[in-house]
Amino acid sequence: MQIVSPDIAENGAVVPVGAVSRIPNTSEIYLLVEKNPQPLAAAFMIPAGTEADVQTRLKMGQSTNVLAVVKADGKLYSAVKETKVTLGGCGG
């Protein structure tokens, strides 16, 4: 699995983030922003037979780790990537 996120985000209010899972039978993908007040930023349910590739824009108040958690065949897998924010998204 892989997290798609910029190394440096110029505006924390709209950070493009995604996740791709090549793990067979992926059924759910969750995106978490470690230092946000509410870390769970997005949840995706993946229908059977579809490609597990999701994209969204998240708000990040500061530089932090972005985590992707994938559920496949009843097991959980995760990946982490640090994203630096140069302009705060939560209050500027």
pTM to 2 decimal places: 0.89
Q: What is the dihedral of CA 82, 87, 90, 92, to 10 degrees?
A: 160
**Where are the extended beta strands (E) located within the chain?**
2-4, 8-9, 15-21, 26-33, 40-45, 52-58, 64-72, 75-85
Domain hosting residue 60, numbered range? 2-85
60-71 pLDDT tens trace = 989 999 999 999
Nearest-angstrom CA–CA distance, 69 and 37: 18
Residue with tokens 């985590």: 67
- Looking at the domain assignment, is residue 91 inside a domain? no
Average the pLDDT over 72-81 and give the result: 96
What is the Cα–Cα distance from 91 to 17, expressed in whole angstroms?
20
CATH number at 43 reads 2.60.40.2470
pLDDT at 64: 94
Q: Is residue 78 part of a domain?
A: yes
pLDDT in tens, 5-55: 999 998 889 999 999 999 999 999 999 999 999 999 999 999 999 999 999
Residue-level pLDDT at 38: 94
Q: How many domains does the chain have?
A: 1
pLDDT at 89: 47
